[in-house]
Chain A
């Protein structure tokens, strides 16, 4: 970072900081607003009367005698047992990420190292397959899954999410592998390694930047998925997003929106830790990759 090329004149630095600051406000404001509002009652958070109530918590004051209340959290976590959904989400995310990356690195590596023209067509086919709208795919799974007694279980959803996510993972890893010089594994093969050994010893050590970035997206996909988890999981196996959706109520019955808001905020907390942890990997890992590349 001390390189001459990245040193900036003062005015540019101001512009950059102002721009990044502006973006941060844009990106984080709705979330901070939600975080603040999650300690209010519904009438304040969705303040139809006057939006400033969301800041001051006037109704919250009247109901609870203080402008902050943990009712939403208590309702979501204690009454509705949101922790079950959290647990299920982390099981799903963990397996989706590991399986996706395992399948994806093998496939992506092979695609990047094979010069045959079918690799191009495989990539195109994967891309076209990705164009299929998810809701159609999922509603097509229902009957066979019920027929074979696979419906409702976490492993089924995990493998479906992995499969749906494969085209994206393949494309992303394929482009990362292309950036890793071929000499690396070619020379390993000259030294007498098999293709797999070359992959294992020459490629795996330098592939982490791409893998971590791809893993991040796989994780977010599994974490945020609604279409698959809501239609393929039994009520007791539900992950967070369908669970949150179920707090919102239906046409004929009132939901409890503040449970949903509190649940959203608490669902974001583990991600905060995760990103804080992995940003170091992203920054340092990517830089290391660059040196070797």
Chain B
């Protein structure tokens, strides 16, 4: 394709992404290297319905001058990236110096918000992604072999975990797994432990979030694989049959290779989405036991005073994290691309 033709084909999508994603990313990167001006504080008397009180406030006229001089704030370089809320370099090296064995060092590190979030995020990403791919694939193969008339209904019900708004979906599940809800009671009965509560223990909370993650995202893998199965070349499959391949061998040597590009696609998207896990943590009120990078951003932006630079720095770290995570898949895509181009 000619450069010019390509340009016109790509223009609408490129422009939309440039305006609404690339420019904001640039501004976020910029934001992350600036901090607010030093606030000039003054003690004044505040009065209200409940009486008067001496309180500290910001001296606006003094701060105003600083703001007009440098509207972006003070340049801080990478300071925010290295502070306690993020990479915490000073705290980590301090922990290393005063360590009392590796376990002690790790538990000190795990107490820092960024590393705590990372540990859950990584465990979540690397358990949920493979599990949902396997489950999605199994459902796709299963549904594909059903009778034609059943398929529509089954597809609809299979999509439900994805369709029901995560906000409400997690609220309802949250009640179902309550120690007095139907699933919680069932678990207590199965474990024969009437005090079992999924929400009160860190370990069980993690399991609960992972199960929810698989349940919620399996339909995505299912639909993509199911679509892929429809384009499966029947002649290849039949010739494999004639060659005496068993059912398992057919799947292993014909179906899976055929679905490989789709598998890469699902893995890419899901690794990325799971790395940015947020809704289940908020929906299940699990922040006491599990946090993620996205949750840190959410928390920075939800406070009464919004920590914009901090949120920006965590966002940039998320992008870097995703890039590292996806690099093996990207290298593979690069090779595919080259073999295609040649």
Chain A positions near chain B (C-beta within 8 angstroms): 1, 3-6, 8, 12-13, 16-17, 19-20, 23-24, 26-28, 30-31, 33-34, 45-51, 54, 102-104, 106-107, 109-111, 113-117, 119-120, 122-133, 135-137, 139-141, 159-160, 162-164, 166-172, 175, 178-179, 195-196, 209-210, 213, 216-217, 220, 223-224, 226, 240-241, 244-245, 248, 257, 260-261, 264, 267-268, 271-272, 275-276, 279-280, 282-283, 286-287, 289-290, 293
Contacts and interface: CB of A to CB of B under 8 A. Distances in A.
A211 B76 CA distance: 47
Main secondary structure on A side of the interface with B: helix
B155 A275 contact: yes
Contacts of A49: 180
Main secondary structure on B side of the interface with A: helix
Contacts of B319: 128, 131-132
17 contacts: A5-B237, A5-B250, A20-B154, A23-B135, A33-B182, A103-B13, A127-B268, A162-B16, A166-B16, A171-B265, A171-B268, A217-B220, A267-B165, A268-B160, A276-B156, A283-B151, A286-B227
Interface of B: 1-3, 5-6, 9-10, 12-14, 16-17, 19-22, 24-25, 27-28, 135, 138-139, 142-143, 145-148, 151-169, 171-173, 175-176, 178, 180-182, 185, 215, 219-220, 223-224, 226-227, 230-234, 237-238, 241, 247, 250, 261-262, 265, 268-269, 272, 275-276, 278-279, 293-294, 297-298, 301, 306, 308, 311-312, 315, 318-319, 322-323, 326, 330, 333-334, 337, 340-341
B145 to A, nearest CB: 6
Nearest to A225: B165
Contacts of B14: 107, 122
Contacts of A46: 175
A220 B223 CA distance: 13
B341 A159 contact: no
Contacts of B156: 272, 275-276, 279
Given A23-B158, A241-B167, A289 B297 contact: no
A33 B13 contact: no
Contacts of A34: 164, 168, 172
B139 to A, nearest CB: 5
Contacts of B166: 224, 226
A161 B171 CA distance: 25
B322 A131 contact: yes
A131 B24 contact: no
Nearest to B157: A28
A129 B10 contact: no
A176 B333 CA distance: 15
A116 B234 contact: no
A132 B166 CA distance: 20
B231 A220 contact: no
B165 A244 contact: yes
Contacts of A264: 164-165, 168
A141 B28 CA distance: 11
A46 B176 CA distance: 8
A135 B294 contact: yes
A141 B24 contact: yes
B21 A164 contact: yes
A256 to B, nearest CB: 13
Most-contacted residue by chain B among A3, A17, A51, A102 (CB, 10 A)? A51
A210 B6 CA distance: 21
A131 to B, nearest CB: 4
A60 to B, nearest CB: 16
